[in-house]
Amino acid sequence: MKPGWLTQRYVFLGDYIDRGKQSLEVMTVCFTLKIVFPNYFMLLRGNHETKAINKQCGFLQELEERFSKEQADKLFTEFNEAFTYMPLACILDSSILCMYGGISPKLTSLQDILDIPKPIVEPNSIELAGDLLWSDPMIGLKGYKFNTVRGVSVHFGEDVLEEVLVKLDLRMIVRGHQINANGFNFFCSQKLVTVFTAASYYSERENRGAVLYVSSDYRVGFKILVPQKGEGGKKVFRSEHEMSNDYDE
């Protein structure tokens, strides 16, 4: 009998930080798993693994609450430096392309992704990199159009998605980036799937989270994560860092 991390291979799509008050623990566990089991864990970069975003959305604040300013600034700088080297996409068995955001008008081959030079300090300065982190599918759209919801990148329609799949010889695209009530959502006759694992992302909506499973014969399934609640019906969530400093040293 072997534990799951030695019998399964895992892909994490991104956005490890700014998604709660334990960004430091989450990121540390993920990096540790990658170091100890490098062939079993693939960590993709999300749009919050960029300095401009996580400076405003919670990660820097969390570090400043838990450490001295000097320590917090050092950790913030070093984590963000590590993020600049994280991959923007990966491919499963040459047929399923995974990224955090979506496709791009600049995506004409898989080599285009490999040719993006690292470190990528500001992904939005490179159109393809920005789209891999930010773009979204849109039902009924033909082609691409500016993503007014995000204020950056593009929306893409089913027609260009099918063109990319044919051109790159792919079966499916797996991405994150958008909340779904049931944790996942298909697009374009199941040729693209959005997977959102953070259950109860907004406490008032109580969305479910999902984990996607892909079998060796390309069948896909989902494990659904139902939001957990504590006393008084409140979301189980550590609101402050009062216990964390006991372990930080």
Residue 155 known to be catalytic: no
Kindly give the residue spans of alpha helices, DSSP state H, lying in 138-209.
Answer: 158-168
Of the candidates 59, 32, 33, 65, the one whose C-alpha atom is nearest the C-alpha of residue 46 is: 59
Determine the Cα–Cα distance for residues 98 and 176; give it in Å rounded to an integer: 9
Q: Could you give the C-alpha distances from 28 to 17, 24, 33, 79, 136, in angstroms and in order?
A: 10, 6, 9, 10, 29
CB 118 within 8 A of CB 85: yes
Kindly give the residue spans of alpha helices, DSSP state H, lying in 120-182.
Answer: 127-134, 158-168
| Active-site option among 48, 155, 177, 241 | 48
Q: Which residues are catalytic?
A: 48
